Amino acid sequence: MYNELDRTLFQSDGRFLEIFQLWVHPDYRRAGLATQLKSKLEEEAQYHNVNLIYTHTEAVNDHVIELNKKIGYQEVRRGPIWDDIIRVSLIKQLNVSN
Ligand SMILES: CC(C)(COP(=O)(O)OP(=O)(O)OC[C@H]1O[C@@H](n2cnc3c(N)ncnc32)[C@H](O)[C@@H]1OP(=O)(O)O)[C@@H](O)C(=O)NCCC(=O)NCCS
């Protein structure tokens, strides 16, 4: 599936960071925890000179897509991956020194 994405989005050494299966306890949702966690992830990626974070989610998860777009992710693919479920692939590109 990664081969379907534009190669030029990725840095030359091919490294990138993925995040999946984010889960916040229902009692603590809408308090910015997922946003904070993803912000921390960006710091970690930059620390390791990785310029791209990748995630995907089922297309029915509008709130997850909204969350990601709000913090600068862009949709790069929409379609089935390993089964018939439509999944939306999103990436965030970061400024790094390499
Ligand atoms: C998705 C999930 C991780 C979000 O965690 P969270 O800590 O509540 O998210 P945040 O507080 O950082 O939300 C940031 C923004 O995302 C959007 N958002 C998040 N949850 C939303 C919801 N249920 N409905 C609508 N928008 C939502 C909002 O724009 C929100 O900003 P706002 O609260 O100021 O309106 C959490 O709802 C969860 O664990 N859900 C069940 C598991 C899941 O679906 N995981 C994703 C698998 S791909």
Which pLDDT score is estimated for 98? 62
Atom of ligand 1 nearest to the CA of 30: 11
Q: Ligand 1 centre and the CA of 31: distance in Å?
A: 9
57 Cβ inside 6 Å of ligand 1: yes
Sequence letter at residue 85? I
Which pLDDT score is estimated for 3? 84
| Positions of the chain with pLDDT lower than 70, given as ranges | 98
The strand pair at 52-58 and 86-93 is best described as antiparallel
Complete domains list, the chain, with CATH: 2-93 (3.40.630.30)
Distance from C-alpha of 52 to C-alpha of 45, rounded to nearest angstrom: 8
C-alpha closest to that of 14 among 48, 47, 50: 50
